[in-house]
A and B are shown apart, each in its own frame.
Chain A
Amino acid sequence: MKREYSIIGKPTGNVDGAAKTTGEAKYCFDMSLPNQLYGKHLRSPYAHARILSIDTSEAEKLQGVKAIITGKDVPGGKWGLWRRFRELCDQIALADDKVRFIGEPVACVAATTKDIAEQAIELINVEYEPLPGVFDPLEAIKDDAPLVHDDFENNINATRHIEWGNVDEGFAQADYTREDKFTCFPQAVASMEVHNSLASYDKGSKRLTVWSSTQSPYYLQLGLADALKMREGDIRVIKPHVGGGFGGKNSTMPDSTSAALLSMKTGRPVKIVFNREEEFISTEHRTGMHVALKIGLKKDGKIVARECKVITDGGAYTGLGATALYLSGIFQTFPYKIPNYRYDAFRTYTNKVWATSVRGFGATPTVYCAESQLDRAAKDLGIDPLQIRKMNVMEPGYEAPGQYKVDSCGIMPCIEKMEKRIKEKWPKVEENEGIGFSAFAYMSGGIFNWIDTPYAYSGARVQVNIDGTVDLFTQASDIGQGHNTVSVMICAEELGIGMEDIRLHPADTATTPVDLGAWGSRETLMNGNAIKMAAGQIKQKLVDLARAKLGENIAYDLVAKDKRIYLELRPERGFSYYDIVRDAIKLNDGEPLIGTGHYTPHNKGMISPAYGMGIMAIKAKVDKEIGHIEPQGVLIVHDCGQEINPLGARGQVEGSVHMGLGYCLCEDMPNDNGMLLNPSMNDYKIVRQRDMPQIELMDVPTYEAEGPFGAKEAAEATIAPTAPALANAVFAATGAEFDSNVLKPEKVLKAIRAAEAKKAQKK
């Protein structure tokens, strides 16, 4: 049956658009409270050192200083996001016995002005005993390497083994094998709004309220409870508008823990805002890693085996890095059927700020490696890059034993659409131009529950009032990705009313049902299901009442649409939504109608309930003299199930491609013995307007039965294929093979020369 929606699938402007274009939207950055103090951290100048003593007496004498805290003032223990594995809960609010990276906070001052707080930290005297540090994962695992955490031998923070089929037999069957090694460098998050929090402790109730720029109010509530040794329920976290997260705002960070501790100590509200340098040197980034990849294929291009070994540069703590380690083994297999697969990986501790989830996490580095290698294999075998992908892609119902199951799966139609369109769009390439491809897939939220929530993964509550207006409560987080718009669209569609009838109350742990937050593209499917269920309960009540009032044949179907409830096949027979609501509330003894919904995935394997996927092509021109790459255009065919908001989905694709281009063209984090060398927006380069190519986005609609209205992941998947599609375009144009994600001119020139030398040797 064709599905006709009133709201779903229609390009819809952002529900927060008016607030965000008029300056009325309040970010935590914009908030202040009467009598507020300002917090500032003193940070470690050493990458690795023992703290011998901290003397705060001079700072305390400065007029305007109200409190100073150090590691000794932290009542709780360590915390982390891997709560099922307490040994991986390794984060601390303020360094106690030693510091593990440059920029780690050792003390925090609360003062009446920002200037005084900044002066005060200069007066704190910390005596350090510098220790040898470890900065490279390959060094970190050596037996004589200094230990970042004493109880983790060889600095191994987490290990992962994934295997299915029989890899050795698989390689034995292969007509062709190749091995490639890559180094993938980290990427900063660089959200426009820095980490910042405002904490206010109520002396009477002994409860704490924290406003924070976070992706997950629930995770922050849990982290604060662990750090402060308080009950979760005594901590209220409110997420105002958030100026970007991209994975970097999942962990509980010192902006919130220190603000909370200082508010508890002074009895006054405390605000802490990181400056941009603090943001770069002390908050999380994308994982750097060494990757060794081996692939075995039959002559016809069929993949028979793949083996992957990964060592990641984890930095000083765990964050969501252990999750990234697992997913790095998973998403590089997508969207292909790899009958025999083995992945061995470990994450090392190093004396750097730690690596975590960042947009497309678990996919972006290893997909770069796998898709680059696939094109090299295709060239050696004389097979067209699209053809080799068609030979190997999944079909609906594909399962990787013990790991994942893919239900809706439009990858083949995506590639077929790409084949057709690319002939029209780029019928030929000039000299030094090339077209590169990369397939992609990504999760619609994670099934793994390392945070160990006892709650459903997402919840929503819908209240319908006497005038038909709706209050929608959910802890789901809009951090710029547009989920508030998606929430309202889903609720309105389900009830058959207008978006203007709905007032959304998001992301406040005191008033909204738990949702795990915005990461891994989870909100549309998981929270969408919870909202649809909650609204659906009310719709059912309204439909039942309308059915009773109409007195029609019980077999007749009623629909809620266009603010009416009516017989589907006799639309003239029905009632106004508003009239039925009034009657329903009267029947409900005067209580507003309340629906509650929740979602937790079941029987969907270990990874995700559903996968968005597709294929990307980039056309690029290479200047062989100076090594400059110009991406000339991007073409994407994407299966994201039923699109909820095509306008928002396109926006997310544009942003993903932008960040993906930055990942290979200009963003990097040079590090000298633990010191980040470019901690400013002047020196950390993101892709600018003039360098951003045009993107053509095409859709292959599928219906994902697990998702609300058939929806699943959209757009986040498209960051991972961006760098490999560009590298493959350069490979197509010049034969240059890259051993890292960095496609800067000097690397490009080197790779082109190596390719030319190889070619000359063959002759």
Chain B
Amino acid sequence: MKQILQFTVNGEPRELLIDPKKFLVEVLREDLGLTGTHWACDTGACCCCTVIMDGKAVKSCSILAMQANGREVTTIEGLADGPNLHPIQQAFIDNWALQCGFCSSGQIMAAKALLDENPSPTREDIQLQMDGHLCRCTGFNMIQEAILDAAERLKGQK
């Protein structure tokens, strides 16, 4: 029996009739075509699928889409301001914090949630918060540098 899911995605109200067995990541990718959110493990172990729900970073593979009912979800597609990249996105590019890019969406969304909560993180704060995010390409150091750089850029904006 399908159910109605009402939620806000990247600032836009959405109403969908969905199979309640579906995970949030499936609805985002398959029903809304927001394929920027990836997943890489099937077992909640990689954090590639991280999106922001009501200000918190969540693994969209590990919550049912219906749990997002009435909530606000931001995906990687909702981060840039029109044609202008978000400072975290720019910092990831400038610091070569991505290689294959497959895990980048999750890394960037987690970094956004982290910096919203803690605008001046230390390297250790980043390591702690981001520890669950797997990446096979970068070795993480350049991601941490990008987040530190993004923190500076965001402070400069204010």
Contacts and interface: CB of A to CB of B under 8 A. Distances in A.
Interface of A: 13-14, 16-27, 29-30, 190-194, 241-244, 246, 275-277, 479-482, 647-648, 650-652, 654-655, 657-659, 680-682, 686-690, 692, 694-695
A30 B40 CA distance: 12
Interface of B: 29, 34-38, 40-46, 48, 75-77, 79-80, 85, 89-90, 92-94, 96, 98-105, 108, 126-128, 130-131, 133-142, 144
Contact of A242 (B36, B100, B134): B100
A244 B108 contact: no
A244 B43 contact: no
Contact of B99 (A22, A482, A680): A482
Given A192-B136, A244-B136, A658-B138, A21 B93 contact: yes
A650 B140 contact: no
Contacts of B140: 654, 658, 688-689, 692
Nearest to B35: A30
A479 B104 contact: no
B45 A13 contact: no
B36 A244 contact: no
Closest 4 CB pairs of A and B: A23-B36, A480-B100, A243-B102, A20-B101
16 contacts: A13-B94, A22-B77, A23-B34, A191-B102, A241-B101, A243-B40, A244-B136, A480-B99, A480-B137, A651-B137, A654-B138, A655-B136, A681-B41, A682-B41, A689-B131, A692-B141
Give the residue among B48, B80, B100, B103 with the most A Cβ atoms within 10 A: B100
Contacts of A652: 99
B45 A29 contact: no
B40 A17 contact: no
Contact of A275 (B42, B80, B127): B42
A5 B94 CA distance: 20
A692 B85 CA distance: 29
B136 A246 contact: yes
Of A244, A482, A687, A690, which is in contact with the most chain B CB atoms at under 10 Å from its CB? A244
B89 A647 contact: no
Contacts of A16: 101
A30 B76 CA distance: 14
Given A22-B77, A690-B128, A17 B98 contact: yes
A686 B89 contact: no
A23 B99 contact: no
Contact of A21 (B89, B126, B137): B89
A193 B108 CA distance: 17
Contacts of B46: 192, 681
Given A14-B98, A21-B93, A23-B75, A651 B138 contact: yes
A283 to B, nearest CB: 14
B131 A18 contact: no
Nearest to A22: B80
Nearest to B143: A689
B102 A192 contact: yes
Given A24-B36, A192-B48, A654 B127 contact: no
A694 B141 contact: yes
A695 B145 CA distance: 13
A481 B126 CA distance: 24
A547 B42 CA distance: 62
Nearest to A482: B99
A686 B101 contact: no
Given A276-B40, A654-B139, A682-B43, A18 B89 contact: yes
A92 to B, nearest CB: 27
B142 A480 contact: no
B60 to A, nearest CB: 13
B136 A20 contact: no
Nearest to B108: A21
A90 B8 CA distance: 52
B38 A190 contact: no
Given A21-B108, A24-B36, A192 B89 contact: no
Nearest to B40: A192
A444 B40 CA distance: 30
A734 B38 CA distance: 44
Contacts of A695: 139, 141
Contacts of A687: 139
Contacts of A26: 35
Contacts of A682: 41, 43-45
B77 A193 contact: no
B77 A23 contact: yes
Contact of A681 (B37, B40, B104, B127): B40
B92 A21 contact: yes
A559 to B, nearest CB: 30
B28 to A, nearest CB: 10
A336 B140 CA distance: 32
Given A13-B93, A21-B104, A29-B38, A651 B128 contact: no
B100 A244 contact: yes
Contacts of B144: 689
Contacts of A29: 35, 38, 102
Nearest to B124: A690
Nearest to B129: A689
Contacts of A241: 100-101
B138 A688 contact: no
A27 B99 contact: no
B134 to A, nearest CB: 6
A665 B5 CA distance: 45
Given A480-B99, A482-B96, 10 more contacts: A13-B96, A21-B108, A22-B89, A192-B137, A241-B100, A481-B99, A655-B136, A681-B45, A689-B133, A692-B140
- The interface centre, meaning the residue of A14, A20, A651, A680 with most chain B CB atoms within 10 A of its CB, is A20
B133 A17 contact: no
A219 to B, nearest CB: 19
B136 to A, nearest CB: 5
A706 B92 CA distance: 33
A22 B75 CA distance: 9
Given A193-B40, A276-B40, A18 B85 contact: yes
Contact of B96 (A190, A277, A647, A680): A647
A687 B137 CA distance: 11
A193 B102 contact: yes
Contacts of B89: 18, 21-22
B96 A648 contact: yes
Given A23-B37, A681-B46, A688-B131, A17 B139 contact: no
B131 A690 contact: yes
Contact of B38 (A19, A243, A277, A482): A243
A686 B131 CA distance: 11
A655 B139 contact: yes
Contact of B100 (A13, A192, A194): A192
A23 B100 contact: no
Contacts of A654: 138-142
A666 to B, nearest CB: 12
B127 A690 contact: yes
B32 to A, nearest CB: 12
A650 B133 contact: no
Nearest to A680: B43
A647 B138 CA distance: 12
Contacts of B131: 688-690
Contacts of B44: 682
Given A13-B94, A243-B38, A244-B102, A680 B85 contact: no
Contacts of B42: 275-277, 680
A692 B40 contact: no
B136 A14 contact: no
